[in-house]
Structure 1
Amino acid sequence: MPPAHSPGWEDRAVAWLLDHCPPDYRTYGAWRRHPLALAWLADRHLDGQVSAMRQAYREVRVELGDDLPATALAEVIEQLEREGLRLVAAKRAAGLVLEALRGTVFVPRL
């Protein structure tokens, strides 16, 4: 995504935000017309996904431990960890996009 406030960055931000929301969100014109609203909603959607992933990670051994072979359970746990990290990073990025759409100017630090 181009730096915030550079030409065309909002269009790229909208596309990125829609990539992190359910596919049906693409059918709602208001999200494209009002990127701030989309960023606000995407931030909440990702927050929900992070919460769900954390709960799944906490419960997977109890819920599936008797039903999966140990190797499969280990694989599922590893992928839950990986997806959790991806979602946390996406949540942070969506929050930064939301701040930028609200007018925050980010200054590079040395």
Structure 2
Amino acid sequence: MSESLWPEDIPTPDSPGWQEAAAEWLGRQLPPYLTADPYLGGSPVLTAWLGRHHLYGQIQGVRESHATARIRLASLAGPALGLELALIDRVLEPLAEEADRLSRLERQVWAVDDALAAARWGTHRLPPERDGGGGAAGAGGV
């Protein structure tokens, strides 16, 4: 596990109480539907697993938006709808930043999930390689 992937708010897995801290951290990072339910939120392993899949879907959605924004929104540009072409380009930067943020978070959730699995099963699982890089973001972000 790379230290750069490990969330700063969670003690390292060799520290006492790290699993409780991991559960609290997951609860702050992920949507309430994954953490508010006593059954779902009561299991850090389940929360991390669901969180990984939730984040993967979010990343894919942001990437799709970024990849298609210029083409799809250009057809809507014009004074009638109040959408200027210059505004379309301005939406790309926040989308790229959000993809980077979500990718970092996904890698952190993977690290926590891996540590939870190692604590339970004594084995590590690495995140899948997607798009030629580490984690869902790939080497180049969006």
| TM bucket, shorter chain | 0.7 to 0.9
1:4-15 aligned within 5 A: 4-15=13-24
Separation in 2 of the partners of 1:26 and 1:95? 17
Cα deviation 1:11-65 (Å, max 9, x = unaligned): 2212222233222333211233221111111011111111111111111112222
1:6-25 equivalence runs, <5 A: 6-25=15-34
| 1-structure distance, mates of 2:87, 2:19 | 42
- Larger Rg over CA atoms: 2
For the pair 1:61 / 2:61, whether they are aligned, the reply is: no
Q: Please, what TM-score do these two structures have when normalized by structure 2?
A: 0.66
User: RMSD across aligned C-alpha pairs, in angstroms?
Assistant: 1.8
Higher relative contact order (CA 8 A, sep 6+): 1
**Percent identity between the two aligned chains:** 31
Q: 1:92: Cα distance to partner?
A: 0.8
Counterpart in 1 of 2:103?
Answer: 88
TM-score, scaled to structure 1: 0.82
Task: Give aligned pairs, total.
Answer: 105
Structure 1 alignment gaps of length 5 or more = 106-110
SS at match of 1:102: helix
Structure 2: which 5+ runs fail to align? 1-9, 78-82, 125-142
1:3 Cα offset (Å): 1.0
For 1:69 and 1:12, locate their aligned partners in 2 and report how far apart those are by CA, in whole Å. 47
